[in-house]
Amino acid sequence: MARGVEREFMNVLIIGGGGREHALAWKIAQSPRTRHVFVAPGNAGTAADAENIDIPENDFAALIRFAKETKVELTVVGPEAPLAAGIVDAFEKEKLRIFGPTKAAAELEASKVFCKDLLRGADVPTADYHTFRDPARAIRFLREREDVPVVVKAEGLAAGKGVVVCEKREQAVEAVEQIAQEKIFGEAGNRVIIEERLHGQEVSVLAITDGRTIVTLQPAQDHKPAYDGDTGPNTGGMGAYSPTPLVGDELMHWIEEHVLVPTVHAMKRMRRPFRGVLYAGLMITNQGPKVLEYNARFGDPECQPLVMRLKTDLVDVLDAAARGELDQIGPLEWDPRPAVCVVMASEGYPGKYSKGHPIRGLDEAAALTDVKVFHAGTSLRDKQAVTSGGRVLGVTALGDSISKAKLQAYTAVKKIRWDGAWCRKDISDKAMR
């Protein structure tokens, strides 16, 4: 594809250690352009498909030292925390090529106030909102207006937990008190947003951009609530599938034109050019799609079914984006078959859970056709994969239809066991309604 004349063998470093990073490592390791793929710190799955490096994702100095000593040509950042802390700025200062937004651009995810103000300024559809620094004023605002359902959000990063969807006024008042007075999410609650509650199906539309050119990925749908039928507490995501029939070609074009393009232009105008993954969390309302939030990285677990379907060499795309040459990349090629990813979790997640349980049946699951078991919260103990996180595995399968992909994913899930393993049983059913 692009840069055909200059193809070189590259060492690639992936930052992070979850399911998304395993999916990225697995895909990147298949590229004919890669020599070595390193993951810092990685997990038991990335240890098999790539090489783990024992450096935490927030130790920029050690990561930079490793990248220089090992001649890493491209670094790819998985999670939001190092992006918000400026890992891209730190690498670029050392003239190291890295895929991801700068600290200033990652504000789009790290500050919900920045995001909402940008959306409003760029005329991108989103829920109406008000921002408050003073909790007393926020509470007065709630008491003085009609008692309608609202959503209360902490401004900053709160691991997906800083959002409270409220049915009644008193619930909203309590959320403001907890976020802005008791500071249960710390500094993330310095400002609160009170916004209109929207209704509809949620979809994830991700795009890769170099700040000028946008390459849109296929639409996906996450499953954030812990239990079947979208009940229970919110999680990082209990499963995902792609494509979703909720977003056809026409709607996808509409989203590109009215959401992604104006956002990328607005970031450029604000002198915060956005380079990396622009992930729009959208709600498909009766008035059309509206942005719930932006993330500045691949979704986890959306990344897993997406890379399983992607046929284009991901290294070509990420490298071109990091170089600012995404216009050299044609449209992406996809496996037309849908993919479904079922997250297997530890007992107790998203609350407290224990770790260190040996995971059995991984080889049997891997032997099934069109199945890939991505690791998330796992580590190695005497060469045995054991649990080390809440979301442990993302069992992903392709199929000729969504229901066949679902069946194959759950067939693989049934082969895998450990003490306390559980998963949602209805991943992708929303597509079939």
Q: Which residues of this chain interact with ligand AMP, rule CB under 6 A? A: 127, 151, 160, 163, 165, 195-198, 202, 224, 281, 292-293
Instruction: Please identify which residue in 18, 299, 350, 377 interacts with ligand GLY, judged by CB under 6 A.
Output: 299
CB closer to ligand AMP, 292 vs 405: 292
Tokens 């976020």 belong to residue: 179
Instruction: Please identify which residue in 107, 302, 313, 319 interacts with ligand GLY, judged by CB under 6 A.
Output: 302
CB closer to ligand AMP, 199 vs 271: 199
**Count of residues binding ligand GLY (CB under 6 A)?**
6
Q: Could you give the C-alpha distances from 207 to 277, 279, 310, 332, in angstroms and in order?
A: 6, 6, 13, 11
Residues from 210 through 249 that contact ligand GLY (CB under 6 A)? 222, 237
Tokens 């599938």 belong to residue: 241
By CB under 6 A, residue 295 contacts ligand GLY: yes
CA distance 54 to 46: 12
Q: Which residue is nearest to ligand AMP (CB)?
A: 293
Least separation in angstroms between CB 423 and ligand AMP:
20
CA distance 98 to 119: 27
Q: Binding partner of residue 295 among ligand AMP, ligand GLY, none, CB under 5 to 8 Å per kind?
A: ligand GLY
Least separation in angstroms between CB 222 and ligand GLY:
4
Q: Binding partner of residue 19 among ligand AMP, ligand GLY, none, CB under 5 to 8 Å per kind?
A: none
Q: Nearest CA to 23 among 357, 431, 391?
A: 391
Least separation in angstroms between CB 220 and ligand GLY:
9
CB closer to ligand GLY, 138 vs 154: 154
The C-alpha angle 311, 317, 323, rounded to 5 degrees, equals 170
By CB under 6 A, residue 346 contacts ligand GLY: no
By CB under 6 A, residue 109 contacts ligand GLY: no
CB closer to ligand GLY, 295 vs 379: 295
The secondary element (H helix, E strand) that includes residue 321 is helix 314-323
Give just the sign of the alpha carbon dihedral 411, 412, 413, 414. positive
In eight-state DSSP terms, residue 301 is: T
Q: CA Rg, the chain, in Å?
A: 21
Least separation in angstroms between CB 236 and ligand GLY:
6
In eight-state DSSP terms, residue 185 is: T
The DSSP-derived string for 253-292 is HHHIIIIIHHHHHHHHHTT----EEEEEEEEEETTEEEEE
Least separation in angstroms between CB 166 and ligand AMP:
10
Binding site for ligand GLY (CB under 6 A): 222, 237, 295, 299-300, 302
